[in-house]
Amino acid sequence: MALEGGWKTRARCHVLGDDVPHDGGVMRFDFITGRVTDPALLIPELFNEIDPGLKTRIRPGDFIVAGKNFFCGKAHNNGMIAMKALGLRVLCESMPFRSFRAAIGVALPCLIQCKGIREFVQDGDELEVDFESGEVVNLTRGETRRYPAVARDIKTIVEEGGMQGLLAKWLADHPELATPA
């Protein structure tokens, strides 16, 4: 299964700051505690806590650019589910390990070691990003930077649709190990 839109994509970016929390930032806290996982319910609430107008500017396939410690706090995935449903992709300076694991678990493509990315782009810039090579081209400014690429094993998990997709593929390849229904 290939990543929808491919690993090299072109879209606008939306720039956030440092220490953006998932709970109460990317997604409303009551949706976290309510265990809401339906993308149709989550998408309208995405980023409302930090920028209520952002959802009107986001288009499917856009890039979310953040500084250090993106998705900080508890590693819930409700906002990540909404971002994946919109085909968004993440470029950030850093992300806590558990949050990165949750993002990959829902197949949300992320480049997480983009040092200085917020100085390289401005809100609304058009970018072309190759997640396989780590190359980020700011088409608006005519500049290019390289960051660490997505690791091959991470790429495989995302291409299979996250952990659920990977497990489904594994069970299809090993039907003798599946638990009878």
What is the full DSSP assignment across 124-178?
A: T-EEEEETTTTEEEETTTTEEEE-PPPPHHHHHHHHTTHHHHHHHHHHHH-GGGS
Q: Could you tell me which CATH number the domain at 8-177 has?
A: 3.20.19.10
pLDDT in tens, 119-164: 999 999 999 999 999 999 999 999 999 999 999 999 999 999 999 9
Instruction: Give the strand pairing for 110-111 and 89-92.
Output: parallel
What residue ranges do the domains of the chain occupy? 8-177
Among 101, 90, 71, 85, residue whose Cα is nearest residue 42: 85
pLDDT in tens, 71-84: 998 888 999 999 99
Decide if pLDDT at 5 tops 80.
no
pLDDT in tens, 88-126: 999 999 999 999 999 999 999 999 999 999 999 999 999
